[in-house]
Amino acid sequence: MCGPGTERHRAITPRRCQTIPLYARLVRYGFRKHATYLGAALAGAFTNSVFGVLRAYVLIALWQARPGLAGYDVTDAVTFCFLTQAFIAPMQLFGGGLTIPERIRSGDIALDLVRPASLQLWTLSEDIGRAAYLFLVRGIPPMLIGAVLFGIKVPAGAGQWAAVVAGLAIAVVLSFAWRYLLALSVCWLLDDRGVQVLSLVLMTFFSGMMVPLHLFPGAFGDIVAVLPWAAMVQVPADLYLGKADVVEALAFQVFWAVVLLGLGALGTRAIRHKVVIQGG
Amino acid sequence: MIELDRAGRSFKVRGKVVHAVRDLTFTVQPGEFVGYLGPNGAGKSTTIKMLCGILTPTTGTVRVAGLEPSRRRTTLARRIGVVFGQRTTLWWDLPLSDSFELIRHLYKVERATFRARLDELTETLDLGSFLRTPVRQLSLGQRMRGDLAAALLHAPDVLVLDEPTIGLDVVSKAGIRDFLLRLNAERGTTVLLTTHDLGDIERLCRRVMLIDHGRLAFDGTLDDLMATAPGQSSLEEVVTRLYTGANQ
Amino acid sequence: MVRTYLLLVWTWTRSAAAYPASFVMMTLFGFITAAIDVGVILVVFANTTSLAGFSREEVLFLYGAASVSFTVCDTFVSNLDRVSQHIKAGTLDTILIRPVSPWLQLATDRFNPTRIGRIVQAGLVLGYAIAALGIDPRRAWMIPVMVITGIVIFAALWTLAGAAQFLLTDAPEVVNSFTYGSQQLNQYPLSIYARDLVAGVTYVLPLAFINWQPGLYVLGRADPFGTPEFMRFLGPAVALVLALVAGFAWRQGVRHYRSTGS
């Protein structure tokens, strides 16, 4: 029988049984590759924690002015703050994390495309390994700092924890799917800097990382709540805080994951056509 | 022009003291063309760094053009030119000509003098075709010529070269060697050349110094060097013998 | 020295100006990226009219002043925090063979003129806040003083960050917490922070003099933490002391590199 193919709890179809060992290996590879940069990761964890502390005060001041805002209490808000800081590295909210753009520019992408395996799945597996490592090294420290300096909420019970882990896993996949699409776009866009800036705004501001999406006023708030970027940060955070309906939240995340991964598959086909067949 | 007196340089590597250069004494007169050989890790780069003022010696004294490099770094900088074979001294993202302009200002070279010198260097090093190209787009040979020109724009008295022909093809190497010979012969620039390429030594250097394990293992003319191993006919064999011999 | 600095800056600018479309685009992007923080402030104030006793325009004033100082520094000296990269690539050596101070060369290394976009953004926010607040004209003189003091303090911070990298060559990102963290800290009135933290950034690492202390004077407000009035005017003196300390640390850093090598 096939066991879980990744280090995270995922549902698998029997069809993928043979390829599980390959992808599992890729996940491990991704993990180990990033584990060599421990010094840089710890420095990043330090920075994330410092910013967590500074941002926490902003939210505390806001919640002191408006107690119970958006259904959160002050501790919820502080927890939210450190959660989003913890998410920065594993969800790569500031972009990057994939080698595809440089491989496209150098032409090495052709080598990747002739492999008898899906480029998207391959890259996803490595990215999951990366995310797992960064959750440990850059995700836990800010949470600990938050717990020690301010006191944070912790999910109660195995059921809630299961929902949190699922939410985080799908959020990682979503973040990957979005970054994968951006990475592929390098093949067509001569200059991807505009896209990078747009993505930065979407992944940090419109995801709820900088300030909870519940605070966004009126129709603006309604729109951002249903965008895929909300599913990357706001939704898993709400799952952690127990502020979201589990089924709805996970379904929302899965919906966007399917959409973005689907677009990614189409994109892979397109890039394969361009690079391998046309030699672009 | 270059005087080292019992110069030494040691590092603390993981708790242990490593002597990169030990008790180094030699003098290079103005106008000499000296080759500086040694196996990897022998202390060549460390010597170069001490000469340029990048590294301060831990023992002994170093004097270049009458100045102590570690104390009078900026003054000395105007009197010496340096070419690092493996890194460029040019500004990577800027066109070559921009780098030259910057050097003119940084070294305070008078405009007319600079123009004349640049024209001459452009001709002898054949830079004309890529003067406007950003340095990062240059081939290795082109970049090396650019680096050489950059090192000579301020007409230094001493030229220090750290493996300048590494990675170059035969034609490029020949071009650079000819250029260096002319420079030394016509302008009297003192040249210190570290290299792994024995062809460079044979072609260019009247005098050779060999450093091994931080100590000066040989200092003399090319003929003297060949004489250390009578019966060996190629420079390569002689030098190999000295490297492995010095190990014992 | 100033001439050399301007020359280096001008050379990079000329090079960037050779691609005008890219220049405009990158400037615009800088503007947008910097606007995210303003977006956060606006969202916060969509939910309250007062934050720790300060109104939206007052917060935008403090943010604007600190940001103008920060973005000017970010444009003109921030590449000092690439010391570690230069050491690792060996290019610090190529800097040391030139008859110019390494500080100058590093500060202007890869000078990016498109960062002007961020300065403009900050300036617009500051300008709006000043107009909307109706600042007492007799106190307005403090505003340029504040901004310049802020520039000096940030420049000193960056110099310290670069100096630290001579020792922390393997974990250079740590210094980002101090440089970028200082900007984050000063985006909001210090009254939101805990008393100990504010004391720390007043008496230990004088970040409070970037915009908080002088800003209180401009806004005509008393300090919620109760510091005496004369401290509002200490900014320039503090900046000078910090600059001297930073200069000393920098020279020590270079000396350390030259005596231990890489």
Question: B87 near C131, Cβ under 8 Å?
Answer: no
**pLDDT single digits (tens) B194-209:** 988 888 888 888 899 9
Nearest to B106 among C100, C258, C261 (CB): C100
Query: Using alpha carbons only, what angle is made at residue A93 by residues A88 and A97, rounded to the nearest 5 degrees?
Result: 100
Q: Which of C97, C95, C123, C126 is nearest to C110 (CA)?
A: C95
Nearest to C259 among B46, B56, B93 (CB): B56
Nearest to C173 among A43, A204, A217 (CB): A43
**pLDDT single digits (tens) B40-52:** 878 888 898 899 8
Most confident of A112-121, A188-197, C237-246, C251-260: C237-246
Q: Is A211's CB within 8 Å of C185's CB? A: no
Locus of tokens 């020792």: C167
Residues of B in contact with C98 (CB under 8 A): 77, 106-107
Distance from the C144 Cα atom to the nearest Cα atom in chain A, whole angstroms: 26
Q: Which of A42, A2, A35 is nearest to A20 (CA)?
A: A2
For residues C203-230, give the mean pLDDT: 92
Q: Report pLDDT for C174.
A: 85
Distance from the B238 Cα atom to the nearest Cα atom in chain C, whole angstroms: 32
**pLDDT single digits (tens) B110-125:** 999 999 999 989 988 8
**Cβ pairs bridging A and C (under 8 Å):** 92
- Helices A74-87 and A140-149: crossing angle in degrees, nearest 10, is 160
| CA pair distance B108, B99, nearest whole angstrom | 14
Question: A58 near A80, Cβ under 8 Å?
Answer: no
C15 touches chain B (CB under 8 A): yes
Distance from the A141 Cα atom to the nearest Cα atom in chain C, whole angstroms: 14
**pLDDT single digits (tens) C8-29:** 888 888 888 878 888 888 888 8
Amino acid symbol at C185:
L
A50 touches chain C (CB under 8 A): yes
Encoding tokens for residue A250? 């996970």
Task: Look up the ipTM and state it.
Answer: 0.91
| CA pair distance A69, A83, nearest whole angstrom | 18
Residue A27 DSSP symbol = H
CA-to-CA dists, residue A184 to A47, A100, A189, angstroms? 30, 7, 9
Subunits with 3+ C-beta pairs closer than 8 A to C: A, B
Q: Report pLDDT for A9.
A: 43
C256 touches chain B (CB under 8 A): no
Return the residue in C23, C167, C180, C192 with the most chain A beta carbons within 10 A, the one to mutate for interface testing. Answer: C192
Q: Which one is predicted more confidently, A189 or B241?
A: A189
Question: B163 near B201, Cβ under 8 Å?
Answer: no
Return the residue in C25, C31, C32, C43 with the most chain A beta carbons within 10 A, the one to mutate for interface testing. Answer: C43
Nearest to A217 among C36, C46, C197 (CB): C46
Q: Is C93's CB within 8 Å of B49's CB? A: yes
| CA pair distance B64, B71, nearest whole angstrom | 11
Instruction: Please report, in tens digits, the pLDDT of each residue of chain A (280 residues total).
Output: 444 445 444 544 444 445 678 888 888 888 988 888 888 889 899 999 999 999 999 999 999 999 999 999 999 999 999 999 999 999 999 988 888 888 888 888 888 888 878 889 989 999 999 999 999 999 999 999 999 999 999 998 889 999 999 999 999 999 999 999 999 998 888 778 888 899 999 999 999 999 999 999 999 999 999 999 999 999 999 999 999 899 999 999 999 999 999 999 999 988 888 877 666 5
| CA pair distance B200, B194, nearest whole angstrom | 9
**pLDDT single digits (tens) B126-174:** 888 999 888 988 988 889 899 999 999 999 999 999 888 888 888 888 8
Distance from the C185 Cα atom to the nearest Cα atom in chain A, whole angstroms: 6
Residue B95 DSSP symbol = B
Query: In the structure, what pLDDT confidence band is assigned to residue C167 with cuts at 50, 70 and 90?
Result: confident
Nearest to A61 among C43, C51, C181 (CB): C51
Q: Is C261's CB within 8 Å of B55's CB? A: yes
Residues of B in contact with C8 (CB under 8 A): 102
Q: Which of B162, B170, B217, B215 is nearest to B191 (CA)?
A: B162
The answer to pTM > 0.90 is: no
Residues of B in contact with C260 (CB under 8 A): 11-12
